[in-house]
Amino acid sequence: NKSCLQRHLYANGPSLTLLSKATQSSGTVEALSEEFPDARFITIVRHPYQSVASHVSLFVPVWQAHSPEITKDSPVSRAYAGLAVEWYKHLFQFGLKADAAHYHCIDYRELVRHPRETIEHVYAHFGWNVSPALHAKLEQATEQQREFQSRHEYTLEEFGLSKEWIQAELGEILDAYRLER
């Protein structure tokens, strides 16, 4: 993991910041924090009713390509949803013990409603400057967000999951983030 990230930095320039947006890296945040003590971590908390279903949906086409017998509502889907729930728990625990100077949590609802302000708040939290060019891009993204309608709509039920299961697994976290049950 460390050497892979170091190669990215070497190839792209040591003055740049590497941004990794990978849910699958959730289980490695402690190791990344130890190996790269100056790393910053930003989590985006989306309601697990949507995020777990969305996460599982990403792998359905892959399963259909190599193992068509794996259906959406299968033990494989439920097992992968269980992994997504564990990542959710793991990131929550990481956030509780992380150094605030190196960690920031974004509420997905705020990111959708106020993209520019949310990103500017992240920059302020870490002491980063928002350049005029970035500010303009954020303004443009905010305008685009107002017109955006996702074509992806997934439900827990189509993957053999339920809100009750999410509540049983993540109830305390739902409450901590003030997400409806």
Helix (H), strand (E) at residue 64: helix 48-66
Whether the pLDDT of residue 12 is over 90: the answer is: no
Task: List, for residues 123-181, the tens digit of each pLDDT value.
Answer: 999 999 999 999 999 988 888 877 777 777 889 999 999 999 999 999 999 999 999 98
Q: How is residue 27 annotated by DSSP?
A: G
What is the model's pLDDT at position 1? 65
Helices (runs of H) and strands (runs of E) counted in the chain: 8, 2
The residue with tokens 């039920």 is: 157
Listed as own residue / partner, the contacts of 150-159 with beta carbons closer than 8 Å and 24 or more positions apart are 152/54, 152/57, 154/50, 154/53, 154/54, 154/56, 154/57, 155/53, 156/49, 156/52, 156/53, 158/53, 158/72, 158/73, 159/53, 159/56, 159/57, 159/72, 159/73, 159/77, 159/78, 159/81
Distance in angstroms (rounded) separating the CA atoms of residues 105 and 119? 11
